[in-house]
Amino acid sequence: MKLLRSLRSSAISAARTLRSMIAPALLAVSASGCASCGESAICSMKGTINQPENRSMRRDLLKTGLASFCQEMLARSAPLKLQNDQPTIGRFYPRTCTQREQENGDLYVAFEGNGYGWTGYSRKLAFTMAGTVTYNQDFLVAEGGGCDIYGYFRPRHVESSDFKLTLIQNQLARQLNQAMGAGQTFGSQMVSSKLNQGFTVIRHSEGGDEFSLGVVELGQRPFHPFQVHGEGKIVMENERLELHQNQRDFAPVTISESGRSLYLQLQTDGGVPVDVFVFGKTEGEANLRDFLEKPDVAPFSMPPYFADVVQPGPTPYRHAIPLPPGQYYVVIDNSNQAGSVAPAQGVLDDRAVLVDSLIQVGDN
């Protein structure tokens, strides 16, 4: 039963946060949609735009941004959570994505990728996931003085889904799964079920974008650890991470233009320091591959571009790192296998740490 609960948690988290993996693409959808008609026009016409009979007009406004759906999807990862209001315990990385518009205007998306998670019984889990989903997309503009745009993507059809465990760190849990085979079947059923939930993307009029699982009511906002609206930077991530003993978090980031910097704001909870690294794409992918394929944490196989320590305390750690255009990974490490922090190792004591992580891209 412990194994099934562990596998259930992993499958639920992967399925629920699939929408957050796709959601960054919708930031481009909302932005491009406004650009095609003029954001001021949308704001001045929001009463008319929100009318149910104008749904076809809203869909036409979304088409421009939908062209970059897969491109944006492949540049990001999906933080995995057991519940929307709980910390991130893993990530899903999309590796392939194809899309097409259906005859009725719906968006068909086929994807596959891999990722990792963590549960108390299994310890680290690695998995692959694939699926095809048809989305019924729409958007509304919040009433009031602002002009926040809410993009709603409700699945109309989940045509297929696949979830396969590729690694279970705990040896006993691994042996039970091999003997029973329950994990693969249950995970596939759970993913198919959870893909039927929707997700929401919000573009704020004062600057900044965010997404949330499920349907966020017009005018409401999901929880994030840092409030950053109106800062003029692109928010790549604003999450609370739960890093267990000998675990790491790999967050991909893209710098698309020259003269830009990576802005980090991190804060730990529990009086525990952690190491933070920035890797280039090649080095980051190699280290992530090791993390997904090896049961135990190991020293990095490739060196970092940047390394520092986040000390605990009431003041968040802040650092700006000028970087040339390219893809990078921000890695937070709670192990004694890398960096200068060597946390105490307890055989029966999982020394987890909570880390609030804000990753932004902005001008130097």
Residue 305 has what DSSP assignment?
Answer: S
Q: How high is the pLDDT of residue 170?
A: 80
Cβ proximity of 260 and 363 under 8 Å: yes
Distance CA 105, CA 134 (A): 10
**CB count, 10 Å around CB of 89?**
25
Tell me if the pTM is above 0.75. Answer: yes
Distance CA 357, CA 264 (A): 8
Q: How high is the pLDDT of residue 322?
A: 97
Distance CA 238, CA 243 (A): 16
Q: How high is the pLDDT of residue 18?
A: 38
Distance CA 158, CA 134 (A): 6
Identity of residue 355: V
**What does the block give as tokens for 131?**
């699926």
Give the H or E element holding residue 275: strand 274-280
Cα dihedral sign for 19, 24, 25, 27? positive
Q: How high is the pLDDT of residue 305?
A: 95
Strand pairing of 274-280 and 199-203? Answer: unpaired
Cα dihedral sign for 11, 16, 20, 25? positive
Q: How high is the pLDDT of residue 17?
A: 35
Tens digits of pLDDT across the chain (364 residues): 444 444 444 433 333 333 333 344 344 444 444 443 445 567 778 888 899 999 988 888 888 778 888 888 888 888 887 777 789 888 889 999 999 999 999 999 999 999 898 887 778 889 898 889 899 999 999 887 778 889 898 999 887 677 888 998 888 777 776 756 555 555 555 555 566 777 788 887 766 677 776 788 898 888 888 887 666 788 888 999 999 989 999 999 999 999 999 999 999 987 889 999 999 999 999 999 999 999 999 999 999 999 999 999 999 999 999 999 999 999 999 999 999 998 877 666 677 899 999 999 999 9
Distance CA 15, CA 12 (A): 5
Q: How high is the pLDDT of residue 306?
A: 97
**Of 294, 232, 31, nearest in space to 147 by CA:** 31
Q: How high is the pLDDT of residue 356?
A: 97
Distance CA 237, CA 251 (A): 8
Cβ proximity of 58 and 138 under 8 Å: yes
Domain annotation for the chain: domains and CATH numbers: 2-213 (no CATH), 234-363 (2.60.120.680)
What is the spatial order of strands in the sheet that 90-101 belongs to? 78-80, 90-101, 107-119, 123-141, 149-168, 199-203, 209-213
